[in-house]
């Protein structure tokens, strides 16, 4: 799942039931694939880099956990690049999981999709995990709990690849970076009115952390070897490893 990236005029995802409700709207689901490409710089390369980082440790017939699997875009990329991998995806929106099955098409037999949150995912152990454009919807404590639950499901040394909104939160900095995010989307063909509505929603309702806070949270959750691999305007991506 992503953010208002999927539906810039809808309320952003939150924790609990609101998180699923925000991505159960039929119109938002139908427009899902268009948003990330226009609003996330290097979106397709982000998916390929994530697969590459996983492949450094995931064996040829490995098992990968995808947190926020709704829509299925990264699932499809991973499955096409690594034919021996199997996947478990979890997402709180049943509608988005339905779209993931459609997106996967003939590859769907390699992915078990679970409706719910990280607690509803199998216990593993998994050889790797991803959470792309999802964790910025969760307040700090819910985010920490989710990271801990992911770590519990990973084999020793397994990688977690994650990326989401993460930018400076100081006075004046937040507005500057959100305006840059909107400008990128507008230049990519996203309607200006929706882009402005999106940054208002992100600024007012999304519990975004600074990059320093995000890295500290990964370490607090028990991950080591935390390394930045992706930085694109308001987005950051890291790879970290289970102990």
Per-residue model confidence as pLDDT tens digits over 5-53: 433 323 333 444 454 444 455 555 445 556 788 999 999 999 999 999 9
In-domain check, residue 189? yes
Question: Which of the 8 DSSP states describes residue 1?
Answer: -
Return the pLDDT at 171: 87
Number of compact structural domains in the chain: 1
Q: In terms of C-beta density within 10 A (0-12 exposed, 13-18 middle, 19 or more buried), how is residue 132 classed? A: buried
CATH number of the domain encompassing residue 20: 3.40.50.150
Q: Of 138, 139, 118, 104, which Cα lies nearest the Cα of 67?
A: 118
Residue range(s) defining the domain that contains residue 52: 16-241
In-domain check, residue 94? yes
Q: Of 86, 48, 94, which Cα lies nearest the Cα of 66?
A: 86
In-domain check, residue 7? no
In-domain check, residue 6? no
Per-residue pLDDT of the chain (243 residues), as tens digits, is 444 443 332 333 344 445 444 445 555 544 555 678 899 999 999 999 999 999 999 999 999 999 999 999 999 999 999 999 999 999 999 999 999 999 999 999 999 999 999 999 999 999 999 999 999 999 999 999 999 999 999 999 999 999 999 999 998 999 999 999 999 999 999 999 999 999 999 999 999 999 999 999 999 999 999 999 999 999 999 999 999
b/e sequence 207-237, b meaning 16+ C-beta within 10 Å: bbbbeeebbebbeebebeebeeebebbbbbb
Q: Cα separation of 194 and 22, whole Å? A: 16
Q: Of 153, 125, 127, 133, which Cα lies nearest the Cα of 221?
A: 153
In-domain check, residue 9? no
Q: Cα separation of 200 and 171, whole Å? A: 16
Q: Which helix (H) or strand (E) holds 75?
A: helix 73-81
Q: Cα separation of 85 and 53, whole Å? A: 14
- Strand bridging mode 224-232 / 235-241: antiparallel
Return the pLDDT at 27: 52
In-domain check, residue 11? no
In-domain check, residue 226? yes
In-domain check, residue 64? yes
């Amino acid at each position: 799942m992503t953010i208002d990236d999927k539906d810039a005029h809808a309320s952003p995802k939150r924790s609990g039931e609101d998180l699923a409700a925000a991505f159960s709207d039929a119109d938002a689901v139908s427009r899902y694939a268009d948003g990330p490409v226009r609003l996330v710089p290097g979106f397709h390369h982000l998916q390929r880099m994530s697969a590459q980082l996983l492949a450094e440790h995931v064996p040829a017939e490995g098992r990968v956990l995808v947190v926020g699997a709704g829509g299925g875009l990264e699932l499809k990329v991973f499955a096409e690049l690594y034919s021996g991998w199997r996947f478990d995806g979890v997402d709180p929106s049943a509608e988005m999981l339905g779209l993931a099955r459609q997106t996967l098409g003939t590859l769907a037999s390699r992915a078990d999709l679970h409706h719910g949150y990280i607690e509803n995912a199998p216990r593993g152990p998994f050889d790797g995990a991803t959470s792309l454009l999802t964790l910025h919807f969760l307040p700090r404590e819910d985010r920490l709990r989710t990271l801990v639950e992911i770590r519990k499901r990973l084999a020793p040394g397994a990688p977690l690849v994650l990326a989401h909104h993460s930018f400076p939160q100081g006075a004046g900095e937040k507005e500057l970076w959100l305006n840059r995010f909107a400008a990128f989307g507008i230049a990519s063909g996203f309607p200006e009115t929706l882009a402005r509505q999106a940054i208002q929603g992100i600024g007012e309702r999304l519990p975004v952390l600074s990059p320093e806070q995000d890295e500290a949270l990964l370490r607090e959750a028990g991950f080591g070897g935390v390394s930045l691999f992706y930085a694109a305007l308001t987005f950051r991506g890291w790879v970290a490893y289970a102990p």
